[in-house]
Amino acid sequence: MRFVIVTGISGAGKSSVLKMLEDMGYFCVDNLPVGLIPKLTRMVIEEDDSIDRAALGIDIRNMTGLARLDDILDEMQEAGYRYEILFLDAEDSVLIKRYKETRRNHPLALQGRVDKAIVAERQELAFIRKRADYIMDTSHMLIRDLKKEIDKIFLDNDEYENFFVTVLSFGFKYGIPEDSDLVFDVRFLPNPYYIADLKPLTGNDRAVYDYVMASQQAVIFEKQLFEMIEFLIPNYIIEGKNQLVISIGCTGGKHRSVTIANAIAKHMKQLPYSVKVEHRDIQKDAIRKGEG
């Protein structure tokens, strides 16, 4: 029997995750009053042999019931009921944007401001975040990225590390990504833009990749950048960080930055973290001379 508690900050994707688990064959219940959790647990674990996987959604809508949740979880452990807790989180700015786009109200906002409601919610849910087996930051995840991570944990049973890395290529002429944690400038590398056959291509094309990586500077830079990232991540984890955005920029975000981002992301697959690569500006029209 696998029993999963899905919780986290409102707007971080709990409803989406419950739908994904339901599609996997989990018996899902959302927003059950906290006081009924022990009864549900006994039912699915002891009384109903037809249910071998269950998921329970808990969030701030339980309000006063959350005060009892910590004790109830302790009692479940003492009774021998095994459960896993998945805590979903996202950056405040991302959560605010999601609420604006969906025009939904935050459960704690009422007539107040969403940003203050998010702060209050984090305080209320801090105790369960500490108990979580998995903490997933969905700030930079598309639905397909989220599903991939959920499949990894609850379908494929792969070992999961609570750290998510995004390697992001961009063009300086379009601005540095605001959510960057680390920014690297690769405009010192040979520029395929000035090679007629390579100009219309991108760093996703083998010819451009080979051209850039044929330079000694690119090889040394990629190797030393990977070594630095490999050193930094465990130290970030110690400090409580659970996601990292590594932004790599060239002039237009089409050739050099894409190549290095792909090389770094490929190299990082050997590390025990979730890694994805994005190319923010790869399709943007070339406006200035010399981009790459």
Q: Can you list the domains of the chain with their CATH numbers?
A: 2-154 (3.40.50.300), 164-279 (no CATH)
Distance CA 245, CA 263 (A): 16
Q: Which residues pair with 184 in a beta bridge?
A: 248
pLDDT by 10s per residue, the chain, length 292? 789 999 999 889 999 999 999 998 899 999 888 888 888 888 877 777 778 889 999 888 776 678 788 898 898 888 888 889 999 998 888 888 887 776 667 776 655 677 888 888 888 888 999 899 888 989 888 888 888 889 888 876 655 566 788 999 999 999 999 889 999 999 999 999 999 999 999 999 999 999 999 999 999 999 999 999 999 998 888 777 778 899 999 999 999 999 999 999 999 988 888 888 999 999 885 544 445 5
Instruction: Quote the pLDDT of residue 285.
Output: 59
Write down the H helix ranges in the chain.
Answer: 14-23, 37-42, 66-78, 92-102, 114-131, 143-154, 206-213, 216-238, 256-268
Distance CA 204, CA 61 (A): 45
Distance CA 96, CA 206 (A): 40
Q: Residue 215 carries which DSSP code?
A: S
Instruction: Quote the pLDDT of residue 287.
Output: 47
Instruction: Quote the pLDDT of residue 277.
Output: 92
